[in-house]
Amino acid sequence: DAKTTQPPSMDCAEGRAANLPCNHSTISGNEYVYWYRQIHSQGPQYIIHGLKNNETNEMASLIITEDRKSSTLILPHATLRDTAVYYCIVRVANSGNTPLVFGKGTRLSVIA
């Protein structure tokens, strides 16, 4: 799996967009970018994933640069409940029996 780099922490004002960056400069052509988050004391929660096109679902948007070396997770209107640690993971879609590896992630604090 390609290595990812994320800032350790970020703050965002409630109601504003939260933009969480992730660098993955060694990503391979068949590797996807996955985002998870972990709200305090809960299990991780899958958010979104993408290969090269931008993706949007009910939770977030994922913007992947054209060279695929970095991406940004966007929470369009952050709320206090979005305060969590966000993990960016890069791996092939059909990963067989190789388990997910969670790095240190970005701790997002949404401030009222």
Interaction site with other proteins (CB under 8 A) = 32, 34, 41-46, 49, 89, 91, 93-97, 99-105
Cβ at position 35, least distance to other proteins in Å = 11
Question: In whole angstroms, how close is the CB of 40 to other proteins at the nearest point?
Answer: 11
Q: Which residues pair with 33 in a beta bridge?
A: 50, 90
Calculated CA dihedral for residues 23, 28, 29, 33, nearest 10 degrees? -40
Q: What's the chain's Rg over C-alpha atoms?
A: 13
Task: Give the residue with the Cβ less far from other proteins, 14 or 49.
Answer: 49
Least distance in angstroms from the C-beta of 104 to other proteins: 6
Residue pair 86/106 in contact (Cβ under 8 Å)? The answer is: yes
